[in-house]
A and B are shown apart, each in its own frame.
Chain A
Amino acid sequence: MRFIKSDINLNFLGKSKLAFYISATMILVSFVSLILHKGPKYGIDFAGGTLIQVKFLAPASINIIKSGLDTIDLGKSSVQQFGDKEDNEYLVRTDISVMTSQGLSGKVKNALEAVTGNEVEIRRIEMVGPQVGKDLREKALFAMFYALLFITIYISGRFEFKWILSGIMAAALMSSVYFLSLINVSIPILITAALILAIILFWFLNLKYAMGAIVALIHDIIITVGIFSIFDKEFTLPIIAALLTIIGYSLNDTIIVFDRIRENLKKYRKKPLDFVINRSLNETLSRTILTSLTTLTVVIALFVIGGGIVHDFAFAMIIGILIGTYSSIYVASPILLIWRRRGKKIQL
């Protein structure tokens, strides 16, 4: 059985202009949504605060729960249904983060039991102090940054044998980011600046494959973050894990295409680069689609039956896999062509 005929020959690069507009629109929409929502919506991991997951033995309405919470001083709080409806589970969230040591969960339990008249089980408490939230936020950004940087060193080394060049570049970037972070420069701005600088350096140092890969990855992350923002979903630690996995996964796809391009460049020495790239995309198309399908299958299974805690994680993965597959075909590979358009000699 096969979905993709072996002699398939789609003109992917012919659509690269259209793809560019699609990507640009998606990125723009992501930024607009982020601006409208005043930045990403942080979960308590990053914003600090307290989250309490409660389970009622009998159905209870959100309004009643809210009125129960009003009887105790919870500061700014919100209530939200969690998981399947028949589970009668709710998340109570507040921005206070110091009270747990004084028995906040007990107070919540008592208040809710008093107002609903049925038994309440406290299933989960998560409290993160403001300082910890800030630390985690910065650590998450650093993790993304380092992952991207290490991966690009590996690509430059493996594909263009420029281990030393890319290594020195990455080391310089990392140490400057490290030292700047010591003198209280805002971390998000610092990392953004470092990534832009990295792309510029890749450009001038002619690290084509690394450039293609990193642009595709940043593209994937921005769009995934944007879609999260559009759906008003929260960023938590597991979502960061999902984003890093998406980086790994999307790169997986990209590398397989790149590998084929490198192989085909030797095979079709006389042919122009765009032909080679197109050929490679077609040859790997079957694999790209199959792997995306199997991975999507399991992630969708996780999304549907994995329960509330991994729900958003699986959601991020679904988006990431779709975007990552798209970007390895329509973003990473066309970037290799930019050098030709610049009129430079190609030494791929």
Chain B
Amino acid sequence: MKNFSWRVILVFAVIIAAIVYILPTINQGWWPHKKINLGLDLQGGMHLVLEVDTDKSVESTIERMTYELRSLLKKKNIRYVGIDRIEDTKISLKIRGNNNILSFDKLLDNELEDLQVLSKSTDDEILTMILNLPEDETHHIKKLAAEQALETIRNRIDQFGVNEPDIRRQGEKRILIQLPGIKDTQRAKELIGKTALLEFKLLDETHDLNAALKGNIPAGSELLYQDNEDAATERATKSPYLVKKRTLLTGEYLTDARVQIDSQFNESYISINFDKKGARIFERITEENVKKRLAIVLDNKVYSAPVIQEKITGGEARITGNFTTEEARDLAIVLRAGALPAPVEIIEERTVGPSLGADSIKKGLISMCVGGMLVVLFMVVYYKVSGLIANIALILNIVLIAGGLAAFQATLTLPGIAGIILTIGMAVDANVLIFERIREEMNLGKTQRAAVNAGYSKATLTILDANVTTLIAALVLFQFGTGPIKGFAVTLSLGVLASLFTALILARLVFDYLLINRKIKSLSI
């Protein structure tokens, strides 16, 4: 009897725990545990996978190092024939004259130890050398780029304002983003995907723009465009600018970006502030280039190219353009959150509208009720009172799955609901196994109590074996799956565990109670 009461306590404890965990889902106010999480396919929302083009971050590092190398050699008075980035991630270097070569070799040993020499040949007092970054350094740059991209995107989404976003690394260079309940998906995608590289570059005013448009682009300059919209005809046009390639200042020194309304033209613009260092650079640029035009370039698009009237101190600038208030707001967010270290590409998107999600929940619940009712009815007709016991077990089974979902903060998805429905079908299996066994034992002429005992003891191992294999399949599924499929694996596993508990412990308890405590001689089965 001691064993019996111990099982009673266990059963009640589990059921009460499950119910307590379900309570917040029914009424949020009852206690502060969280509700059952609904997957994006049920509540609507957007699932994105981004790939960070980490190769680009290596390329831009090499590009920067090429610049630095040039200025370093100039500073050290080493004359060079050419320093260029070749094959994306290599630096090719040509130096003439023995003196120059000698001092460069010294420089290479002392100050450029992070570069690796790929090939080196000296021919007729000309040194030709190809340099690149060592493997672990490029690996480090890529890793850093992916991490930084994740941080930046998280910043942007936080500022955009989404309830409970889920943003995480996936593999080496992918980022998984889940935005539940988001409505303006297009805007969110633009906000997330924008590189937001802000650059200040001088216009090339010494060369002819028209010649450049015909393909005659001077070295050190490039053609960039500004998007315009004709207010009258609403036609989008592009106006070209010939801009010097060299970047004078980037957005990395930004401390703040805010949307402001120009009272004169009633137009939105963005005012940006630089930190001390940025302000100093900005001051120097404006001082050296008075009366010249400075292009404000974001992601290789010119926003404006005002003429510098005088030296600007204080580190404040404004970006104008034909912004709508929303565009301006989003632009301010991406500028504040900083640029992505490398471009990102959306490689997977799954968006579910809220109405579809609600439909799915409705249809899922209806099929669960219909399927469940049919099974319940069948069990009562086929096994009478014992069937009723199995049905109690079945209903508690669903309660336990729901409780488990809430307790583990797992996510319920549409395939997850399918998993619960499937468990309803399979959960009665354990009881069917036991009941069939009991019937067999009774056919051998045993009393009901002896038959129940024998039935349980013989069926238990079989049931365990059969369920462990389903559990294995579910666990593999969990490992492999994404979003909705994971939800299926979760409910299937919970279902297997719950049905083991309800069939082997709970239903047994009811049988024992009726046969031992209530001394019922025969139960219809």
A54 CA to B219 CA, complexed, in Å: 51
B371 touches A297 (CB 8 A): yes
B422 touches A255 (CB 8 A): no
B347 touches A121 (CB 8 A): no
Asked whether any CB of chain A lies closer than 8 Å to the CB of B119, the reply is: no
B363 touches A306 (CB 8 A): yes
Asked whether any CB of chain B lies closer than 8 Å to the CB of A158, the reply is: yes
Asked whether any CB of chain B lies closer than 8 Å to the CB of A188, the reply is: no
Residue from A143, A256, A306 in contact with B477 in the complex, judged by beta carbons closer than 8 Å: A143
By size class, the interface of chain B is 35 or more
Asked whether any CB of chain A lies closer than 8 Å to the CB of B447, the reply is: no
Determine the chain B residues whose CB is within 8 A of the CB of A299 once the complex forms: 371, 421-422, 425
A124 touches B426 (CB 8 A): no
A155 CA to B466 CA, complexed, in Å: 10
Name A285's closest neighbour in chain B (CB-CB).
B436
Name B442's closest neighbour in chain A (CB-CB).
A6
Contact with B along A275-315 (1 / 0, CB 8 A): 00000000110110011011111111110111101100110
Query: Within the complex, what minimum Cβ distance (angstroms) separates A79 from chain B?
Result: 18
Residue from B349, B432, B492 in contact with A287 in the complex, judged by beta carbons closer than 8 Å: B432
Asked whether any CB of chain A lies closer than 8 Å to the CB of B314, the reply is: no
A131 CA to B347 CA, complexed, in Å: 8
Name B378's closest neighbour in chain A (CB-CB).
A294
A99 CA to B477 CA, complexed, in Å: 31
Given contacts A53-B356, A101-B189, A287-B433, contact A294 B347 (CB under 8 A): no
A309 CA to B40 CA, complexed, in Å: 14
Query: Within the complex, what minimum Cβ distance (angstroms) separates A236 from chain B?
Result: 10
Determine the chain B residues whose CB is within 8 A of the CB of A100 once the complex forms: 189, 346, 349
Q: Which of A61-69, A111-119, A242-250 contacts B (4 or more CB under 8 A)?
A: A242-250
Given contacts A6-B439, A6-B440, contact A129 B347 (CB under 8 A): yes
B477 touches A314 (CB 8 A): no
Q: Which of B108-116, B124-132, B148-156, B481-489 contacts A (4 or more CB under 8 A)?
A: B481-489
B348 touches A127 (CB 8 A): yes
A299 CA to B375 CA, complexed, in Å: 11
Query: Within the complex, what minimum Cβ distance (angstroms) separates A309 from chain B?
Result: 6
Given contacts A124-B351, A241-B415, contact A259 B378 (CB under 8 A): no
Asked whether any CB of chain B lies closer than 8 Å to the CB of A16, the reply is: no
Residue from A2, A151, A301 in contact with B421 in the complex, judged by beta carbons closer than 8 Å: A301
Residue from A131, A287, A294 in contact with B375 in the complex, judged by beta carbons closer than 8 Å: A294
A54 CA to B429 CA, complexed, in Å: 40
Asked whether any CB of chain A lies closer than 8 Å to the CB of B28, the reply is: no
A306 touches B426 (CB 8 A): no
Interface residues of A in 94-127 (CB under 8 A from B): 98, 100-101, 103, 105-106, 121-127
Asked whether any CB of chain B lies closer than 8 Å to the CB of A139, the reply is: yes
Determine the chain A residues whose CB is within 8 A of the CB of B421 once the complex forms: 298-299, 301-302, 306
B466 touches A310 (CB 8 A): no
A298 CA to B462 CA, complexed, in Å: 23
Given contacts A297-B371, A310-B418, contact A241 B429 (CB under 8 A): no
Asked whether any CB of chain A lies closer than 8 Å to the CB of B325, the reply is: no
Query: Within the complex, what minimum Cβ distance (angstroms) separates B350 from chain A?
Result: 5
Query: Within the complex, what minimum Cβ distance (angstroms) separates B279 from chain A?
Result: 35
Residue from B418, B439, B469 in contact with A252 in the complex, judged by beta carbons closer than 8 Å: B469
Query: Within the complex, what minimum Cβ distance (angstroms) separates A168 from chain B?
Result: 18
A252 touches B186 (CB 8 A): no
Contact with B along A126-159 (1 / 0, CB 8 A): 1111011000100110110011001100110010
B359 touches A298 (CB 8 A): no
Asked whether any CB of chain B lies closer than 8 Å to the CB of A183, the reply is: no
A123 CA to B356 CA, complexed, in Å: 6
B375 touches A127 (CB 8 A): no
Asked whether any CB of chain A lies closer than 8 Å to the CB of B443, the reply is: yes
B465 touches A158 (CB 8 A): yes
B432 touches A290 (CB 8 A): yes
Asked whether any CB of chain A lies closer than 8 Å to the CB of B470, the reply is: yes
Determine the chain B residues whose CB is within 8 A of the CB of A295 once the complex forms: 422, 425-426, 429
Query: Within the complex, what minimum Cβ distance (angstroms) separates B420 from chain A?
Result: 10
Asked whether any CB of chain B lies closer than 8 Å to the CB of A182, the reply is: no
Name A301's closest neighbour in chain B (CB-CB).
B371
Query: Within the complex, what minimum Cβ distance (angstroms) separates B348 from chain A?
Result: 5
A103 touches B186 (CB 8 A): yes
Interface residues of A in 201-249 (CB under 8 A from B): 237-238, 240-241, 244-245, 247-249
A123 touches B355 (CB 8 A): yes
A244 CA to B471 CA, complexed, in Å: 11
Query: Within the complex, what minimum Cβ distance (angstroms) separates B131 from chain A?
Result: 30
Asked whether any CB of chain A lies closer than 8 Å to the CB of B461, the reply is: yes
A285 CA to B204 CA, complexed, in Å: 87
A287 CA to B455 CA, complexed, in Å: 13
Residue from B363, B424, B473 in contact with A307 in the complex, judged by beta carbons closer than 8 Å: B363
B49 touches A252 (CB 8 A): no
B353 touches A121 (CB 8 A): yes
Q: Which residues of A contact B (CB under 8 A)?
A: 1-2, 6, 53, 98, 100-101, 103, 105-106, 121-129, 131-132, 136, 139-140, 142-143, 146-147, 150-151, 154-155, 158, 237-238, 240-241, 244-245, 247-249, 251-252, 255-256, 259-260, 263, 283-284, 286-287, 290-291, 293-302, 304-307, 309-310, 313-314, 317
Give 3 nearest A-B pairs by CB, closest first: A295-B425, A298-B371, A301-B371
9 contacts between A and B (CB under 8 A): A100-B349, A132-B347, A154-B468, A154-B469, A238-B488, A245-B470, A255-B469, A302-B422, A310-B418
Told that A287-B429, A294-B379 touch, could you supply 4 new A-B pairs with CB distance under 8 A? A105-B351, A127-B348, A255-B466, A301-B421
